[in-house]
Structure formats: structure tokens, C-alpha cells
Amino acid sequence: MAEILTPIKSERGWVIQMTPEMAREARAAEGSYLVIYLSESGISAEILPPATDEINASVKRSIEKFGATFAEMKRVGD
């Protein structure tokens, strides 16, 4: 049975996490995302690879350092 993928709306288009089969067919890393854009000339897409360990660690450090600030920004709607 085919898997149903639910796109997530972003500022510029839609994001779908690629299935392992999609990643293999596209010769992309497992865990990659497909970003779909609409324009007057048609539809375009790009593949975003999964975050590296270095990026994940950097984000974690930022959350630890600025977590309270991020929470306050979210609270006030910024």
C-alpha cells in the first residue's frame, strides 16, 4: 500500500519528508526533504539533505543558550 505523505506549508512552498524509496530513486540521502515551489512558470522542487551532526549540535547549543529568549519571543508573537 502506498504511503500517504502530508506536505507542510512553509513561507515559500511545501515540504515533504522523503520516504526511503523516494530518496533511493532520487539518489539522495535517507532523511532528506523535498521542497516544492509554485510560480507563474510552473512547479519546481529541490532536495534538502538531512542536517549533519555538526548542525544538530549547533542548534542544540543555541537552544540551550537562548532558549528562554526564544520562548519569550514565541510568547509575545515575534
The string of pLDDT tens digits covering residues 47-71 is 999 999 999 999 999 999 999 999 9
The residues with which 47 forms a beta bridge, in sequence order, are 34
Output the pLDDT for position 11. Answer: 87
pLDDT tier at 78, thresholds 50, 70, 90: low
- Determine contact, residues 3/21, Cβ cutoff 8 Å: no
Whether the pLDDT of residue 1 is over 60: the answer is: no
Output the pLDDT for position 69. Answer: 92
Nearest to 45, CA basis, from 36, 54, 56? 36
